[in-house]
Amino acid sequence: MNIFKKIALSAAIVATFATVSAPAFAAEEHKDKNVVVRAAADATKAKVEEAISIAEKGDKTAFIAAVAEARQLQKEFRYEQTERLRQKLNDKLSAAREAATQDNMSDATVAIKAAAEYVKEMREIYDAAHK
C-alpha cells in the first residue's frame, strides 16, 4: 500500500509539472522579422529627423530626449550587413547627446546630421537585399 501511494504521488507530480511546463517552453509566436526591422528603421529615421529639427530650434532638453529615443529604436534595426553602420550610428547619436549635454548645439547638430546619413545608408543596404 505504501508503494502504491508513492507511485500515485509521483505520477501526480509528473503530470502537474508536464501541464505547467508545456506552455512555458512553447515556441514563441512566429513574427516576421523583416516587419520588425522595417518598422525600427522607419521609427529611427523619423526620430533622427525630429532630433535634427529640434537641434535647429535649439531646444536642448527635447533634443536629448529625441536622441535617447533614437538610440533605443536603432537597437531593433538589426541586420547583419549593416551591423557596423549601426554601431557607427550609435556612436554618432552618443556624440550628439554628449555635445548637447555640454551646451554645444552646433556639434550636436553636426553629429545628428551624420547619424541621419548612416540611417539612410543602412536603409538602402537593407532595402537592396529585401526587394
What tens digit of pLDDT does each residue of 78-119 get?
888 889 999 999 999 999 999 999 999 999 999 999 999 999
What CA–CA distance (Å, rounded) separates 97 from 61? 10
Grid cell of 9 as nine digits: 504521488
The domain that contains 76 carries what CATH number? 1.20.120.660
Asked, for residue 114, whether it belongs to a domain, the answer is yes
pLDDT at position 21: 60
Q: What pLDDT, on a 0 to 100 scale, did the predictor assign at position 82? A: 86
The whole-number pLDDT of residue 11 equals 72
Span 52-66, pLDDT tens digits: 999 988 889 999 999
CA–CA distance, 119 with 29 (Å, rounded to integer): 29
Residue 5 belongs to a domain: no
How many independent structural domains does the chain possess?
A: 1
The per-residue pLDDT of the chain, averaged, comes to 85
